[in-house]
Chain A
């Protein structure tokens, strides 16, 4: 079974700083990582391959440096890596991104064999939109399974799959036919360490590098900024709140006294909270 995992190299946003004057992201020195949600997808793909045979291709669209993330994925055990990189993709929003990735997926199918399963993480940590997976599925006519918590059953011969999907208030057990696109929920597995063999292989591996033309994309107007219906009008820093914090004095206070002070301060600040609490206590 040939499985493709779409992943993204993202800035480690925990370490991002905003320039105080220009309100732009200061990228210098910010480390990049594989989007953490994509690792759940990659691990799930590797497990299926280990069980059923076949191979795992990782695909990313990004700047040339995104190759680092692909190599990392190879050290975890992915078999092949494809980097889709072209100036024409600059400024892509989710619609333009899913267009380019779908084209690359189609090309991967032609070059390296049909792809019954495409995986992505549930969303990225920089964009947080969760839109690219569904966009790819729609463009390629794949059955779409988002927020998947568990693959309950997969029968490659019959071409069927059953999964548990996170929904409001519970899990939906869904069955559908391959080919599918699956977005994996977080926390469903743990990324393996990867073997020494994989590390050697990754170091020597050739990352396949495709331009828009290589991926068979002729409609450049559907890529990048031109192909993006959404336009960023402005970027700004969240406003600081005018109201100042009111500190509860702690000097000369034992813990129990301090607790009573804090409670009193809460009730002073928001009297309705005390009323609510008393109503709750009375109802117990």
Chain B
């Protein structure tokens, strides 16, 4: 009996029960790499473009085509989403355009995507690990009875041509590489900001393959009644901010956390924190950085009073420059920070805010 049955976590490694057998005959026709391109309210989710960059590499390695999958409610959305897919590396785009798909619903999207897979047979299918992507991926994998590896941090093609999907497990303490050997497609999700955005090639174009959806609105049980957009002030741009200042328990109080916000504001960045701050209610859950929060890739990350536990580390490792302020010279954060300052963050943060403010205003006047 495993302790972690419903996970992709360590189980006996391949070779015991999971020996590589010949791929069943009916799966041999499965070819090409697909990326589901997520688009809600007319906005293509950046994670899809990041995945196209990754998918391009996998497709090239396999010597196959890269396809984007676009499920849209109207022609305009389909066209703009397809264009984004082509400009970020897709050779072709499968589109299903139907008013039924205007808003995400599990039923309709699962049906559209599984129909596409069954018709055109991809060997690899990638989705963003967003709420939409995870909801959809879980249903599609179950419907197709195939393997799905969640929240991968690395995708590669192994020597035998299989998708080798690496993901953190046990809260980031370990990594494991997972294969889906005898089933197709091989499915994986990847969180936003884990892969880098491929350069956009304006004007790049490819083939569009349309597929109808044989589903009537009357047959769809779930209805979208309304969409309550987040207030502007609630919209954390954290995952995509160039500069992020974050605080941890070392700040000791919600009042002191304001020092983090003040510095972030002067730097034109966004702010976040470690998980205990969410539990204490100092910050909202969408501001949590790390394994169970957001992954970030800013140019500059300033961590104040954060110990640097593995679960936090995996969310910030993609940052260009990590600056750690911590009173404890032995804090684990100093093992992966680029710049370390052994100091009291409660004193240093306001001083840093003043220093940047002064520097920026002087240089602004000079410039």
Contacts and interface: CB of A to CB of B under 8 A. Distances in A.
A161 to B, nearest CB: 10
B271 to A, nearest CB: 15
Interface of chain B, main secondary structure? mixed
A91 B17 contact: yes
Contact of B7 (A129, A226, A284): A129
Contacts of A157: none
B26 interface: no
Contact of A263 (B151, B174, B355): B355
A126 B354 CA distance: 42
B224 interface: yes
Contacts of A240: 335
Contact of A236 (B9, B170, B175, B341): B175
Nearest to A100: B5
A228 B134 contact: no
Q: How large is the interface on B (under 10, 10 to 19, 20 to 34, 35 or more residues)?
A: 35 or more
A232 interface: yes
Interface string A215-242: 0000000000110111111111110110
Contacts of B278: 187
Interface in A109-163: 124-135, 137-139, 143-147, 162
B40 A278 contact: no
B139 A137 contact: yes
Interface string A265-284: 11001101100111011101
A257 B338 CA distance: 20
Interface stretch (A43-51, A73-81, A200-208, A245-253): A245-253
Contacts of B335: 240-241, 245
Given A168-B131, A255-B351, A258-B351, A124 B229 contact: no
B5 A61 contact: yes
Nearest to A281: B360
B226 A127 contact: no
Q: How large is the interface on A (under 10, 10 to 19, 20 to 34, 35 or more residues)?
A: 35 or more
Interface string B1-30: 111111111111110111000000000000
A146 B1 contact: no
Interface in B153-210: 158, 164, 168-183
Contact of B17 (A226, A235, A255): A226
Contact of A134 (B11, B106, B223): B106
Interface in B270-321: 278, 285, 291-292, 299-300, 309-311, 314, 320-321
A16 B170 contact: yes
Contacts of A87: 1
Contact of A245 (B3, B235, B340): B340
Interface in B322-367: 323-324, 334-343, 347-348, 351-352, 354-356, 359-361, 363-364, 367
Nearest to B16: A225
Contacts of A162: 225
A97 B147 CA distance: 12
B11 A91 contact: yes
Contacts of B347: 255
B143 interface: yes
A29 to B, nearest CB: 14
Given A245-B335, A260-B355, A282-B367, A250 B343 contact: yes
A41 B223 CA distance: 23
List the 4 closest A-B pairs by CB distance, nearest first: A127-B7, A134-B138, A231-B18, A229-B147
20 contacts: A61-B6, A89-B5, A90-B1, A94-B148, A129-B138, A129-B148, A131-B137, A146-B131, A168-B41, A168-B45, A171-B227, A174-B225, A176-B223, A230-B178, A246-B339, A248-B341, A266-B323, A269-B321, A270-B320, A281-B360
